[in-house]
Amino acid sequence: MSPLSRRGLLGGLGAGLGAGLAAGALPARAQRQIFDPQGGGTGLKLSEAQVAAGRAFVAKHASVDIHAHPGRFFLRGLAQQNATTRAMGEPFEAKALADMAAGHVTAALFNCVADAVLLEASRTGGLAAAREFQPGEAWAEYRRQIGVLTALVTKGDAAPGQTPHDIANALAVGRTAAVFAVEGGDFIEDRLDRVAAAYADGVRSITIVHYHPNQIGDPQTEAPRYPGLTPLGRDIVRAMNRTGVIVDLAHASLGVTRDAVEVATRPMMLSHTNLKRPDVDHPRLVSVEHAKLVATHGGIVGSVPSGIGQKTVAEWIDSILRLVDAVGVEHVAIGTDMDANFMPVFADYRDWPLIPAALLARGLHEGEVARIMGGNFLRVLAAQK
């Protein structure tokens, strides 16, 4: 158990919860809020002073959303729409960036979606690849989406986010930096030189596996084809470490994660997940052992406000604190997956200050909250070179 648990961070949920969590016995909450897509039912019980503390916090500390798709920018210019992408509607980068500025989000990892053209809603409600790539299509899709991101920075809509210095600068001038990222390593194909090309484009993180089973390894949402990383997948992880691109293990199977930990020489991240619980299981959730693998060597695990096992912001805060107890405060971060999250319980960047407000209200110190909100990511980014 971590020192945080002994201090009773989760005490608000019931007596002895720290120990209860270790044994997996999370008491039922007396009054459950019903999920409210308008964001009205946050479940948070914060005083005005506590909300004000959250606002002061984000004005002072760099805060980073380690996994996002702001305004669903990846849809802009998408020629081949399918029912799933059509249902997502038009992209809205300008509104997303205005909300991020209002919420004082210092930086976010703006994730392209490598396999966007392949994905369709599956019968079980998740996403799955409905077809394979055509020759040249994966690279063309990458180029299209990176073009959208490059234009955002060139036009001055988002601040550059390639280095920790860029992010410190964004905090100083009150802007939001776009850290370019790609969810899915499909576009690399068998071309290791594309890792360096992506770095040159400004990409600082690649989620090596997404929903489409690719050349690197298996997603956690599909029946496994391989025990872990493929030989090419191992080479791609090595190339990313050499080049300075963060390896993101979100969506990756446990086998892929184990192999990546064995191969990697730089800290990695698992950008958007939560812990499995005795009463809540889902292929997108991970075990404590799985999370700890990523936390080794300075890695980080981002907590996601998806509707899997949580119905309110307050319940998401519980998920963040479970991760803190499992892997330590130096290894936890925030990855919202906005604006492509599944049944989000947190869906408005203007509410971003509520996250540090709630963490402070639950008893974390300012320095601990600063790590979760951005400091841990900045450490991982700085450690890639």
Q: Which is nearer to Zn ion, 57 or 211 (by Cβ)?
A: 211
C-alpha span between 130 and 36 (Å, rounded): 31
Q: Which span (10-18, 78-86, 330-338, 346-354) binds Zn ion, by CB under 5 A?
A: 330-338
Binding mask 256-275 for Zn ion (x = CB under 5 A): --------------------
Residue number with the smallest Cβ distance to Zn ion: 337
Please count the residues of this chain forming the interface with Zn ion, following the rule CB under 5 A: 2
Q: Which span (214-222, 227-235, 337-345, 358-366) binds Zn ion, by CB under 5 A?
A: 337-345
- The reply on whether position 337 binds Zn ion by CB under 5 A is yes
Q: Which is nearer to Zn ion, 139 or 211 (by Cβ)?
A: 211
- Shortest CB 284 distance to Zn ion, Å: 8
Q: Which span (102-110, 130-138, 254-262, 329-337) binds Zn ion, by CB under 5 A?
A: 329-337
- Shortest CB 365 distance to Zn ion, Å: 30
- Shortest CB 303 distance to Zn ion, Å: 13
- Shortest CB 308 distance to Zn ion, Å: 12
**CB atoms inside a 10 Å sphere around CB 53:** 18
Q: Which is nearer to Zn ion, 10 or 119 (by Cβ)?
A: 119
- Shortest CB 54 distance to Zn ion, Å: 25
- Shortest CB 288 distance to Zn ion, Å: 21
Footprint of Zn ion on residues 176-205 (CB under 5 A)?
183
Contact present, 303 and 332 (Cβ < 8 Å)? yes
Footprint of Zn ion on residues 75-134 (CB under 5 A)?
none
Q: Which is nearer to Zn ion, 5 or 111 (by Cβ)?
A: 111
Q: Which span (287-295, 298-306, 336-344, 374-382) binds Zn ion, by CB under 5 A?
A: 336-344
- Shortest CB 271 distance to Zn ion, Å: 8
Binding site for Zn ion (CB under 5 A): 183, 337
